Chain A
Amino acid sequence: MSADFTVVGKPLKRVDSIARATGRITYGVDMKLPGMLHGKILRSEYPHARILHIDYDSALRLPGVKAVVTGADDPGGRFGSRMADQAMMAHEKVRYIGEPMAAVAAVDEETAEEALSLISVEYEPLPAVFDPCEAMKPGAPIIHERMHEYKYWEGWCNPRPGTNIINALVLRKGDVERGFAEAAVVVENTYRTHAIQHVSMEPHACVVQAEADGRVTVWSCTQAPYLLRGSLAAALRIPSSKVRVIATAVGGGYGGKVRLKLEGPAALLSMKTGRPVKMVHTRTEEFIGAVTRHPSVIRMKTGARRDGTLLACRAEVILDTGAYCEAGEVVLWEVVQATPGPYVVPNVWVDGYCVYTNRVSAGPCRGFGWPQVTWASEGQIDALARELKMDSLEIRLKNAFDEGSISASGEVLHSVGFKECLQRVAEAVDWHGRERRPGHGIGLIGFTKMSMPQTASAAFVKLNEDGRIGLMTSAVDLGQGISTALAQIAAEEIGVTLEDIEVAAADTDTTPFDSGAISSRQTFHVGNAVKRAGADLKQQVLAAAATMLEARAEDLEIRQGRVSVRGVPDKSVTLAQIGTATQIRLGQPILGRGAHLDDDIVMPDMATGQSPKPAPYWKYAAQAVEVEVDSETGKVVVQKMVSAHDCGRAINPLSIEGQVQGGAVMGLGFALMEEMIFDEGRVVNPNLMDYRVPTSTDFPDVEAIIVEAPHRDGPFGAKGVGETSTIGAAAAVRSAIADAVEVIINDLPITCEKVLDAIEAQGKEKGLSGS
């Protein structure tokens, strides 16, 4: 499929792989500056309390302590994603156990840690609420009394001041009650999902240097340098260009390193001391003070005709965002657009709520709400298939989005590789010829995810005097391989090799604007910007070569680092000659520029959620899982997993396989192993012994299938895949368990106890009905 390309579509080695393989790459935790101090944070011990007094005199007297800051030192600017509800340090009150209240800078980490124990805080405990459904009820403790003062983006947020509902959104299509009336079968269920932690192997880390001239320089393992810059500037109440964010290498992000965290307290401490301050989360702080996946409660009612045609879907989606939004408002906005899943449903009614509770905030987490709604929507399709005694692949194929399908929000869809994904995973598990025996089952499900709208990317490419190309963007390589993919796109567009491209790291002083490594957007958005910048550079190169060769630009071509007159190969100049001439002799350095804006987006109507184009693009995928269930212990062993993804065009198939496999295993962890357990807002398992993530012996190799339905707006047809890979695993495992032992688990995670209880309950039911 990629035969026409020379660089794109090839499984090339990563441009940064030697640095990573030899350990010689600098992550956030590795940063060191002369005179650097180490900071530590004092965190709230209460889930909801007024701060009456913080006494840190004795901490300041400890030798080696250089400064203490509290909310009183915070200039008070609020920041957020589309809803600015958060301050760097708690002001007046705390809203979760783990919220920063004070921070210490000292000569080393141990001294800073010791100083924390010398700070005393007087609290006045307030009633707290931990369950999102309880938090929505009248009379619940109000977590943000000043919600009405918060600034937010129109079209994204519909807050309800005086309640804990920070965003309430709807989707309305057709007449849902009539749809149910016409349906031959209607199924209704409640689905619950839990909090997990990202568990990036590198914890959050940064060094912040407040400069003498009022500028603030930040080295951070952030996923989104420009978003961090904007948030920190808003929080400090200074112009954003006074903040310089330099991206370090990132040791895993998965959404957890998008938002401003340690950089705030570190900036306040650096301002107070005039010295660079480094801060690194402990693993415990990753659990209690970073972000989690949004727990959810989803009620869904779905109706279909006798032949399986979907008629109506009514859903209530409640997302628990914890103490602050941290993009929860956007998570809700996204999933409300396609709650019923990637299927044609003529009548839809969705009510979505994003709700505050008194626990550590939920935030962006690989999949961004879609694992939650997919857990519900695919459960409904399975339930309908059971009621109708239909094959669960057949009912999906019957209703699946296809070219020209109309979505629930009224969009006419294009570049839809969904059916092929379903068919390819079915083939891979021999769906129709599969072995059937008790205790063994296969689940096969499908899903979608949008890439969030209203983001932007820009790129610069420059021609160096040696003829090589410098690529400057603010994309962040979290390990997904975006640096390589962008270099491939640039090389393909310009007509050079991958080795001719040097990729610069993001630095907000020099690399252009980008919304960051979020929403699986970089291949599509930054890729488009790079492709356009490459085309711009190429045009400038040809113009310069035309002057040098005394030829017409349209007669020239670039091949292997040389510009020649088409058909006259010996009439040529090298890119090095052009680079040298333009920079030094002609004084017209060649800099190509490009950008990608989502300029065709129509924000959904707030009353109906309808929009002909709510998202830059949609991703489609299908996954199948084969399990063995031990009916005596409830243990579920995954024997095979296949994951097919429509990535538009695979820029680098090796990287895409890696994304698909890694995301699938993260999804299996979400399904079967991982759970943050809370007791009155306190995380009781904030360590890697009590919170188990998958290791090499837990799951089999995942088979990755790449489906290419080129997207008309993507660079060479490409779209992103990084987050989609995680979404479906839990739903696929549930289907496989149902296939194996005929029990349905709608409450994540799927533990041995739940499976065993369900098997026993089913046994009793069968016993009763048999008697």
Chain B
Amino acid sequence: MKYPITLRVNDESFELLVEARKPLLHVLRDDLNLTGARRGCESGYCGACTVLLDGQPAHSCSVLAVTAAGKEITTIEGLARDGQLHPLQEAFISEGGIQCGYCSPGFILTAKALLDAEPQPDSSTVREWLKGNICRCTGYAKIVSAVLNAAEKMRAGEGR
């Protein structure tokens, strides 16, 4: 059975008719063409599909789209503003935190939630926050340093 819902994604509203059982991930990818939310394991273990729901990281493969109605959904496509990358995106690039890039949106969004909650995390806090996201390329060292580097820049008032 399909239900009419309104999803708020990256500050835009979308009127949709979706099956009750359809995960948010598939609605984002198939209906809204927001493919930055990745299809990784589709069972909530890899974090590639991470988006922010009201600022909190969530595995969009494990959230039904109908239950996301009324929430502010942020995907990686919504992070850069006015052509300006988010400091986390900048740091992931400059620190070498991105290799194949498939997991990067999930890491960057999880890290954003972390820095919004805790602007001055230490490296073990960063590692703890990121453990729900799998990266098979980097070995995590450069991802952790990218988050710490972005935190420092954001505290210094550079970027958001």
Give chain A's interface residues, CB within 8 Å of chain B.
11, 13-14, 17-27, 29-30, 32, 198-203, 249-254, 280, 282-283, 478-481, 654-655, 657-658, 661-666, 687-689, 693-697, 699, 701-702
Count: A-B pairs, CB below 8 Å? 176
Partner of A30, one of B35, B48, B126: B35
Known contacts A17-B98, A249-B101; decide if A695 and B131 are in contact (CB<8 Å): yes
Known contacts A22-B85, A654-B96, A655-B96; decide if A282 and B42 are in contact (CB<8 Å): yes
Query: B141, A21: Cβ atoms under 8 Å?
Result: no
Q: Which residues of A contact B79 (CB under 8 A)?
A: 22
4 cross-chain pairs, A with B, having the tightest CB-CB distances, nearest first:
A23-B36, A479-B100, A20-B101, A251-B102
Known contacts A22-B79, A201-B46, A251-B101; decide if A658 and B136 are in contact (CB<8 Å): no
How far does the Cβ of B35 sit from chain A's closest Cβ, in whole Å? 4
A251 to chain B: closest residue by CB = B102
| Interface mask (B103-122 → A, CB under 8 Å = 1, otherwise 0) | 11100100000000000000
Query: B137, A662: Cβ atoms under 8 Å?
Result: yes
Q: Which residues of A contact B104 (CB under 8 A)?
A: 20-21, 23
Partner of A29, one of B38, B93, B98, B108: B38
Q: Which residues of A contact B43 (CB under 8 A)?
A: 283, 687-689
Question: Is B32 at the interface (CB under 8 A from chain A)?
Answer: no
- How many interface residues does chain B have, given as a range? 35 or more
Known contacts A21-B85, A201-B46, A254-B136; decide if A697 and B131 are in contact (CB<8 Å): yes
Query: B85, A18: Cβ atoms under 8 Å?
Result: yes
Query: A283, B127: Cβ atoms under 8 Å?
Result: no
Query: B134, A688: Cβ atoms under 8 Å?
Result: yes
Q: A23-B36, A694-B140 are in contact. List 14 more A-B contacts (CB 8 A).
A: A18-B89, A19-B101, A20-B100, A20-B101, A21-B104, A24-B36, A201-B134, A203-B39, A249-B101, A283-B42, A657-B142, A688-B134, A694-B139, A701-B144
B48 to chain A: closest residue by CB = A201
Give chain B's interface residues, CB within 8 Å of chain A.
29, 33-43, 45-46, 48, 75-77, 79-80, 85, 89, 92-94, 96, 98-105, 108, 126-128, 130-144
> What are 15 residue pairs bridging A and B, where the CB atoms are less than 8 Å apart in the complex?
A18-B89, A18-B93, A22-B76, A22-B89, A201-B48, A201-B102, A252-B102, A252-B136, A479-B98, A662-B139, A688-B43, A695-B132, A696-B126, A696-B128, A696-B144
Query: B127, A201: Cβ atoms under 8 Å?
Result: no
B26 to chain A: closest residue by CB = A109
CA of A480 to CA of B80 in the docked complex: distance in angstroms? 25
CA of A29 to CA of B85 in the docked complex: distance in angstroms? 25
Query: A23, B35: Cβ atoms under 8 Å?
Result: yes
Partner of A688, one of B41, B85, B141: B41
Q: Which residues of A contact B38 (CB under 8 A)?
A: 27, 29, 201-202, 251
CA of A32 to CA of B33 in the docked complex: distance in angstroms? 10
How far does the Cβ of B37 sit from chain A's closest Cβ, in whole Å? 8
Query: A666, B99: Cβ atoms under 8 Å?
Result: no
How far does the Cβ of A541 sit from chain B's closest Cβ, in whole Å? 32
Q: Which residues of A contact B96 (CB under 8 A)?
A: 11, 654-655, 657-658
B29 to chain A: closest residue by CB = A30
Partner of B108, one of A18, A21, A696: A21
A205 to chain B: closest residue by CB = B39
Query: B39, A696: Cβ atoms under 8 Å?
Result: no
How far does the Cβ of B41 sit from chain A's closest Cβ, in whole Å? 4
Q: Which residues of A contact B135 (CB under 8 A)?
A: 201, 662, 696
CA of A26 to CA of B92 in the docked complex: distance in angstroms? 19
Query: A662, B138: Cβ atoms under 8 Å?
Result: yes
How far does the Cβ of A601 sit from chain B's closest Cβ, in whole Å? 31
B19 to chain A: closest residue by CB = A110
Q: Which residues of B contact A478 (CB under 8 A)?
A: 99-100
Best-buried of A11, A13, A22, A481 by chain B (most CB within 10 Å): A22
Query: B139, A280: Cβ atoms under 8 Å?
Result: no
Known contacts A480-B99, A481-B99; decide if A22 and B80 are in contact (CB<8 Å): yes
Partner of B100, one of A202, A687, A702: A202
CA of A699 to CA of B35 in the docked complex: distance in angstroms? 30
Q: Which residues of B contact A199 (CB under 8 A)?
A: 134, 136
CA of A664 to CA of B137 in the docked complex: distance in angstroms? 10
CA of A663 to CA of B138 in the docked complex: distance in angstroms? 8
Q: Which residues of A contact B137 (CB under 8 A)?
A: 252, 479, 658, 662
How far does the Cβ of B10 sit from chain A's closest Cβ, in whole Å? 11
Query: B98, A14: Cβ atoms under 8 Å?
Result: yes
Known contacts A201-B134, A479-B137; decide if A250 and B100 are in contact (CB<8 Å): yes
CA of A479 to CA of B127 in the docked complex: distance in angstroms? 22
A655 to chain B: closest residue by CB = B96
CA of A695 to CA of B99 in the docked complex: distance in angstroms? 16
How far does the Cβ of B104 sit from chain A's closest Cβ, in whole Å? 6
B106 to chain A: closest residue by CB = A201
Q: Which residues of B contact A688 (CB under 8 A)?
A: 41, 43, 45-46, 134
Known contacts A26-B35, A688-B41; decide if A693 and B101 are in contact (CB<8 Å): no
Query: B99, A201: Cβ atoms under 8 Å?
Result: no
Query: A687, B41: Cβ atoms under 8 Å?
Result: yes
How far does the Cβ of A475 sit from chain B's closest Cβ, in whole Å? 14
Query: A658, B138: Cβ atoms under 8 Å?
Result: yes
Q: Which residues of A contact B138 (CB under 8 A)?
A: 658, 661-662
How far does the Cβ of A233 sit from chain B's closest Cβ, in whole Å? 28
Query: B77, A22: Cβ atoms under 8 Å?
Result: yes
Query: A25, B39: Cβ atoms under 8 Å?
Result: no
CA of A282 to CA of B61 in the docked complex: distance in angstroms? 13
